[in-house]
Chains A and B, each alone.
Chain A
């Protein structure tokens, strides 16, 4: 079910000032999978995401996305590559001066030359796909609830039918019901649109529900990567605490009596 690596990170070193965040980090994301990246606060999950999408320059290392080394790309090639992925930031990061429909059309306008009718129609489908009501297209981000903002942000990330979707804590700030719905939405969209997901998360429920594999960031690198079964058998102290703690128990990861 899984093919080649769509994202390949090799020997990555990053840091701020004299503080080292990643020390020789390696990671591979396979085509078509949902990879969840977990780790304690400050272990550099978001920094890793920012490095891969080119918002932060690492000190050294190699990052390959869809077969291209993102660090050595010229601006036009970069822009072409950016059109092949979509990013959902934590709180949606919608442009507050534009309506939801206009937000979705920003990448369409930037990368393609479409007529306005077609752009309106595409924006409308995306609004429907992420489960927003049709009236939402005319609303401004300030008029939306947190959950709706995330959905609208997802619609913008999906505007160009990306091959990779990056999600930065997609369920944080949502109530459990909203979070479960969002998980289901990602799962359904993946079946329909067939993309790879790189997801930074803290949410044990979403890890369990939609992730094919989980990568654990600790000690400045990926200490273990694998499916949930592997996680539960892992002996690394942080992994042990995370997947066997009281929250893991309540998320139903652990069978009673184990």
Chain B
């Protein structure tokens, strides 16, 4: 077309006509305007009209086209193909050379992707379940292997105490322990308040208000203090461990460490593990005390039990063992959280997305394992009679 050059040189000002289709008698079809992707949806619908025709020969005249892009070329090609498959002859006329290239290119790339293998839904579901189970078992085995490796490295480090990295350990203790105090304290305090309040309203019905102290003391010291601390730390630190180690893995820092003769377990895992094992009992103790404080405050307000009465009652209600049962569990939970956090960090592969995936998995797994361990402990202590 004569105005083709002017319409392209004035890049912005030109107002090209929208795409149009004109059906003439005798199968003559004129196409014109800008056949670009913006008009593709409309043209897709309008082109279906042609299929209703009864003509056995169609002539597409493209000389009115002002612009053509891949989408437009595809629509023309597709229409032609579907008409030809119905034993109709199709001829293209007035094709400018540059449009010819595009039409050929589109035709060359008309390749339907191979269909997905379609299997029985039920069979697929069963297979998927099986795969997941095998995968879980393989990971459990792998995790045990990791645990063993860490123990081995630990024993080696203990026999050469100079190899223990004290400064990183102190750094991690600050991060996982000291910095967690506010959130652990707040949650424990509020849970103490809630137990006292709910306990009081129940116990009042039996006139046994004073036993609220027993309820608070036993539940917080034996279970809730340590469990809350462990869950908060699992959310805070297991995720942090996974993300830190995972990011280093993505960045190939772990590989670099190995080539420099550094043992990633010794450098990355042991400081975190030991820091958490040392910090966890302290956090559990802190959670116990703040929980009792919250409970005591609430019993004072609701039941008018003064602090000195509360403390007196407390020493009657619980033995020292109740306290120790909570604290004994702390290092075990710490090992679970640190190991899961670090292990999942090492499982990160390749992409940034995998860091996120593993981080959420490490939090879920560490909380789950902590609660399983707590259940095992409670059975064990029951059998041991404490």
Q: What residues of chain A have their CB less than 8 Å away from a CB belonging to chain B?
A: 3-4, 6, 31, 66-68, 96-97, 108, 112-115, 118, 121-122, 124-129, 134-135, 137-138, 141-142, 158, 160-161, 163, 191-194
Contact (Cβ within 8 A) A4 B74 = no
Contact (Cβ within 8 A) A112 B38 = yes
Contact (Cβ within 8 A) A134 B111 = yes
**Contact status of A125 and B113, CB under 8 A, knowing A112-B37, A118-B41, A161-B37:** no
Chain B nearest CB: distance from A191 CB in Å? 7
Which B residues lie within 8 Å of A134 (CB)? 111-114
Q: How far is the CA of A112 from the CA of B44 in the complex (A)?
A: 14
**Contact status of A96 and B40, CB under 8 A, knowing A6-B11, A66-B12, A128-B111:** no
Q: How far is the CA of A141 from the CA of B101 in the complex (A)?
A: 30
**Contact status of A118 and B44, CB under 8 A, knowing A124-B112, A134-B112:** yes
Which A residues lie within 8 Å of B55 (CB)? none
Chain B nearest CB: distance from A17 CB in Å? 25
Contact (Cβ within 8 A) B350 A142 = yes
Which A residues lie within 8 Å of B352 (CB)? 96
25 chain-A/chain-B pairs, Cβ below 8 angstroms: A3-B8, A4-B11, A6-B11, A31-B8, A67-B12, A96-B353, A97-B353, A112-B38, A112-B41, A114-B44, A118-B44, A121-B74, A122-B37, A124-B109, A128-B109, A129-B70, A129-B105, A134-B111, A134-B112, A135-B114, A141-B351, A161-B70, A192-B101, A192-B102, A193-B70
Task: Identify the closest chain B residue to A126 (Cβ).
Answer: B70
Q: How far is the CA of A31 from the CA of B8 in the complex (A)?
A: 9
Which B residues lie within 8 Å of A115 (CB)? 41, 44
Chain B nearest CB: distance from A164 CB in Å? 10
Q: How far is the CA of A1 from the CA of B111 in the complex (A)?
A: 34
Task: Identify the closest chain B residue to A141 (Cβ).
Answer: B351
13 new A-B contacts, CB < 8 A, other than A112-B40, A135-B114, A138-B113, are A3-B8, A31-B11, A96-B353, A114-B37, A118-B41, A118-B71, A121-B74, A124-B109, A128-B108, A128-B111, A134-B114, A161-B69, A161-B71
Contact (Cβ within 8 A) A129 B109 = yes
B contact residues, range: 20 to 34
Which B residues lie within 8 Å of A114 (CB)? 37, 40-41, 44
Contact (Cβ within 8 A) B36 A161 = yes
The 9 closest A-B pairs by CB, nearest first: A128-B109, A67-B12, A161-B69, A134-B113, A134-B111, A96-B353, A3-B9, A125-B109, A192-B105
**Contact status of A68 and B12, CB under 8 A, knowing A122-B70, A122-B71, A160-B37:** yes
Q: How far is the CA of A67 from the CA of B9 in the complex (A)?
A: 12
Which B residues lie within 8 Å of A4 (CB)? 9-11
> What mask results when residues 111 to 142 of chain B are scored 1 for a CB within 8 Å of chain A, else 0?
11110100000000000000000000000000
**Contact status of A193 and B111, CB under 8 A, knowing A112-B40, A115-B44, A121-B74:** no
Chain B nearest CB: distance from A114 CB in Å? 5
Contact (Cβ within 8 A) B11 A67 = yes
In the assembled complex, B52 has its CB within 8 A of some CB on chain A: no
**Contact status of A137 and B113, CB under 8 A, knowing A122-B37, A193-B69, A194-B98:** yes
Which A residues lie within 8 Å of B277 (CB)? none
> What mask results when residues 195 to 218 of chain B are scored 1 for a CB within 8 Å of chain A, else 0?
000000000000000000000000
Which B residues lie within 8 Å of A31 (CB)? 8-9, 11
Which B residues lie within 8 Å of A67 (CB)? 11-13
Which A residues lie within 8 Å of B111 (CB)? 124, 128, 134
In the assembled complex, B106 has its CB within 8 A of some CB on chain A: yes
Q: How far is the CA of A81 from the CA of B376 in the complex (A)?
A: 63
Task: Identify the closest chain B residue to A158 (Cβ).
Answer: B70
Chain B nearest CB: distance from A52 CB in Å? 16
Which B residues lie within 8 Å of A142 (CB)? 350-351, 353
Which B residues lie within 8 Å of A108 (CB)? 37
In the assembled complex, B78 has its CB within 8 A of some CB on chain A: yes
Which B residues lie within 8 Å of A128 (CB)? 108-111
Q: How far is the CA of A142 from the CA of B355 in the complex (A)?
A: 13
Which A residues lie within 8 Å of B98 (CB)? 194
Task: Identify the closest chain A residue to B5 (Cβ).
Answer: A3
Chain B nearest CB: distance from A120 CB in Å? 9
Task: Identify the closest chain B residue to A162 (Cβ).
Answer: B69
Q: How far is the CA of A118 from the CA of B116 in the complex (A)?
A: 19
Which A residues lie within 8 Å of B112 (CB)? 124, 134
Which B residues lie within 8 Å of A161 (CB)? 36-37, 69-71
Q: How far is the CA of A202 from the CA of B360 in the complex (A)?
A: 40
Chain A nearest CB: distance from B19 CB in Å? 14
Q: How far is the CA of A97 from the CA of B113 in the complex (A)?
A: 20
Give residues 290-337 of B contacting A (CB, 8 Å).
none
Q: How far is the CA of A180 from the CA of B13 in the complex (A)?
A: 38
Which B residues lie within 8 Å of A68 (CB)? 12
Q: How far is the CA of A6 from the CA of B44 in the complex (A)?
A: 31
B98, B105, B112, B350 — which one has the most chain A CB atoms within 10 A of its CB?
B105
